[in-house]
Amino acid sequence: MITACAPPTRPPQFPVRRQAPLAGTPAGTAKWPQENWWKRYQDPQLDRLMALATRDSPDLQEAQARYSAAERAVAVQEAQLRPQLRGYLDAGHAYSKADIHAQPSIGTTTQNIQLSPRHSWSNSGLAAALFTWDLDLWGKQKDAVAEALGQANAARAERAMAADSLHYNVARTYFDWQIQQARLALAKDAARDASRYRELVALRVHAGLDDPQTIDQADAQLAEQLRSEAQVEGSISLDQVQLAAVIGVSEQELGSLQAHALPVADTDIPPYAGLELIARRPDIVADRWQIEASIKGIDSARAAYYPDVSLMGLGAYLQLYPNLGSGTQANVALANIGPSVSLPIFSGGRLKAQLESRQAELDSAVAAYNSTVVQAAHDVAEQIATLQQLQAEQIQTDRQVADVSTQNGRANHRRRQGLDDDRTWLGLQMQLDQQRDTQVQLSGQLLATNLALIHALGGGYHAADLPSLPANATAQDASR
């Protein structure tokens, strides 16, 4: 009758999302990212940086430490299900002395009486063993184990999430360094062309053929090109610092990085991203295990209303020498085994508060899970839209580069025939360098967006052992 006071559990307050809201986004035919997705670029230099990051990253080490701690917590809870045997040993050597004074009254006369003091020495020894075994008839401890296991699985997914973020940041920073190297080569060409253009203008001004104001314009153009070159060099230095910081090493430990051509960005996406994204994002999986841990925590808190039934056994042996030298000795041996039952009758609302706290934790876990699912869908949709926009811009930029390149070829032909001086050709050459710089930047943005999409799709992670989601609350449950 008392155990019937345990309140029923309720479903979570918020409805649980079953899939990512990606309706309306185009479906592609690409495969999902593989576990070591960066190997698709066939860049040994990038592979070396990834291996270095996996070895020395503080973030990855911190995530691994949290996972190891969660595993130990599971072992602690599992140990509570096993029988326990505790030993107890005690030995003592005691001394006692009695000195009694009394003043008894006989009639009207008071007499002083003093007993001779007596002292004694004694030894005692006790050996005992206590056996306890919580039978866990209501599954409270098993639920605690399941809760700890859910926390461990969440920590394992968080470790994968840390690795995914690490790999993404290394690749993003590394390829940005490669992009800046390509831009630096173009900036140097543009600065060289601007310098040659300024020299031609100066010769014509000194010969009295042009207005001296054209030298000022040429100087401003050259200063702008040199400023762009210095800005790109600063970006390269910043990328090296950021890359070393992400990996967790010094710049010297990065080694010598070599510039090479950028890989072509994959602009396709996998099909059914909305449904399978739930098992592909480690942060979603981690939140899903948090929900499972909260459910088991509720079950454990509800089982606390039921009586605890344990099996206990005690064996002890006591040996006592109350007065050394007298030959007196006492030996006591005892043993006891039987069940022990404890039942919470009045707890001052502690059990109810504990259960309601667990229910609130479940609501919080469901809300965090829903938020993560919505954010994951937003990340994927944003990268897909960005890819489409950049592809459209790249088409127009390629056309502009082709047009300027054609004009530059014609100007170069006229220059070689002596029909035109070098100024027209150099002007078009600087314009072509600028268009090519825009083209490189767009290629870099496409590649960066492709990396962000891989990261948004889970970075090659896939969980096959997801727990089932709790049922959504009905209108009546939600009002409770």
CA distances from 363 to 119, 279, 369 (A): 70, 21, 10
On whether both 316 and 430 belong to a single domain, the answer is no
On whether both 156 and 261 belong to a single domain, the answer is yes
pLDDT of 17 reads 86
Distance CA(333)–CA(248), nearest Å, equals 64
Which residue ranges of the chain lie beneath pLDDT 70? 1-5, 24, 98-118, 324-325, 327, 413, 417-422, 473-480
- Structural domain range at position 394: 16-81+138-174+230-305+347-478
On whether both 23 and 161 belong to a single domain, the answer is yes
On whether both 374 and 298 belong to a single domain, the answer is yes
Strand 330-342 and strand 118-134: pairing?
unpaired
Closest CA to 119 of 94, 138, 152: 94
Closest CA to 125 of 94, 96, 92, 95: 92
Locate tokens 């326990």: which residue? 84
Domain end position, chosen among 289, 317, 342 = 342
On whether both 357 and 418 belong to a single domain, the answer is yes
pLDDT tens-digit map of 255-299: 889 998 888 877 777 777 777 888 889 999 999 999 999 999 999
pLDDT of 478 reads 45
pLDDT of 67 reads 92
**Would 313 be classed as within a structural domain?**
yes
Number of domains in the chain: 2
Closest CA to 401 of 370, 443, 356: 443
pLDDT of 112 reads 62
On whether both 273 and 328 belong to a single domain, the answer is no
pLDDT of 479 reads 42
pLDDT of 174 reads 95
Distance CA(290)–CA(362), nearest Å, equals 8
On whether both 332 and 420 belong to a single domain, the answer is no
Distance CA(50)–CA(253), nearest Å, equals 13
**Would 190 be classed as within a structural domain?**
no
**Would 182 be classed as within a structural domain?**
no
CA 239, 245, 249, 251 dihedral sign is positive
Distance CA(437)–CA(430), nearest Å, equals 11
**Would 474 be classed as within a structural domain?**
yes
Q: Kindly give, in sequence order, each residue whose CB lies less than 8 Å from that of residue 5, ignoring residues fewer than 6 positions away.
A: 305
| Identity of residue 370 | N
- Local structure of 245: helix, strand or coil: helix
Tokens of 160: 């994968």
On whether both 22 and 130 belong to a single domain, the answer is no
**Would 103 be classed as within a structural domain?**
no
**Would 3 be classed as within a structural domain?**
no
Residue 117 and residue 99 in contact, taking contact as beta carbons nearer than 8 Å? yes
On whether both 318 and 421 belong to a single domain, the answer is no
Tokens of 345: 């009758």
DSSP secondary structure, 416-437, as one string:
HTTSS-HHHHHHHHHHHHHHHH
**Would 59 be classed as within a structural domain?**
yes
pLDDT of 3 reads 56
pLDDT of 410 reads 74
CA angle 43, 48, 49 (to 5 degrees): 100
Q: Which CATH number goes with the domain that contains 325?
A: 2.20.200
Q: State if pTM tops 0.85.
A: no
